[in-house]
């Protein structure tokens, strides 16, 4: 009986930090607030994050958030959703450590930070790196385009400023981002998007990448594909619908 009770307790604990459970939004928030680091972050940063959204004339709790990361610029952007469905930039945070080179993650142990279109798939309130939000790597595109061996995983946005393929920001910064994503999830946003880019994919930037990586045709084609999604969002700050075809290409449609 003791063993069964211990297993049940572990299952309940894991469910409390999974992005898909519990089903009711208010239950998810309540479960998260059971963790000391989340409670401490809420006390220290809750009013600050609320003010950031209010300053942009956005609802709090937010109806939706978006995270974008630009590897070359070492910037993480936090966006909030307006009533009409468009998004507004709320705040930028410096990414304080990096690993790998420009390009997507294609295999386990390559130290690469992924590039592509993902979502938060895990809330970790007891991370070794303060607080952490899981990135849904590998996605369908990664599985098609990746190597034959293991693709790796366990990619997070987290604190502590160390990385071997993750996206680290300062501890105070991850508290703000974690709380914003938590509150959006608790308000009903079941999938929080994370867009990871090599750089701001302007026409000039893509030409520069072509000059720097002229022999890497597959890589340039991949970046050109990412640019399609980047451009659609930049046009009106609305999230496009994103799918993946059989060749691993992202397919986009405006909403």
- Which residues are catalytically annotated? 158, 166
At 83, list the tokens.
């009533």
Rounded distance between C-alpha atoms, residue 174 and residue 155, angstroms: 15
3-state secondary structure of 254: coil
Q: Residues 82, 155, 46, 173: is their CA dihedral positive or negative?
A: negative
Strands 156-158 and 167-168: parallel
- Are 175 and 15 in contact by the 8 Å Cβ rule? The answer is no
At 193, list the tokens.
């998007």
Q: Which helix (H) or strand (E) holds 231?
A: helix 217-236
* Close Cβ partners of 211 (under 8 Å, ≥ 6 residues apart): none
């Amino acid at each position: 009986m003791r063993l069964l009770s211990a297993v049940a307790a572990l299952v309940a604990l894991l469910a409390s930090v999974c992005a898909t459970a519990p089903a009711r939004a208010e239950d998810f928030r309540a479960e998260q607030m059971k963790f000391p680091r989340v409670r401490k972050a809420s006390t220290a940063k809750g009013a600050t994050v609320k003010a950031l959204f209010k300053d942009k004339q956005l609802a709090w709790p937010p109806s939706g958030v978006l995270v974008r990361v630009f590897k070359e610029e070492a910037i993480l952007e936090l966006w909030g959703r307006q009533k009409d469905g468009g998004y507004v930039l709320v705040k930028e945070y410096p990414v304080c450590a990096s690993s790998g080179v420009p390009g997507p993650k294609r295999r386990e142990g390559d130290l690469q930070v992924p590039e592509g279109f993902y979502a938060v798939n895990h809330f970790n309130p007891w991370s070794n790196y303060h607080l952490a939000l899981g990135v849904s790597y590998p996605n369908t595109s990664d599985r098609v385009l990746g190597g034959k061996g293991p693709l790796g995983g366990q990619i997070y946005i987290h604190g502590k400023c160390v990385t071997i393929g993750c996206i680290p920001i300062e501890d105070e910064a991850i508290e703000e981002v974690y709380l914003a994503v938590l509150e959006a999830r608790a308000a009903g946003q079941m999938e929080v998007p994370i867009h990871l880019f090599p750089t701001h994919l302007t026409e000039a930037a893509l030409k520069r990448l072509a000059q720097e990586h002229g022999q890497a045709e597959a890589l340039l084609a991949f970046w050109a594909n990412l640019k399609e999604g980047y451009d659609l969002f930049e046009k009106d700050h609305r999230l496009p619908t994103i799918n993946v075809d059989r060749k691993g290409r992202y397919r986009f449609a405006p909403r």
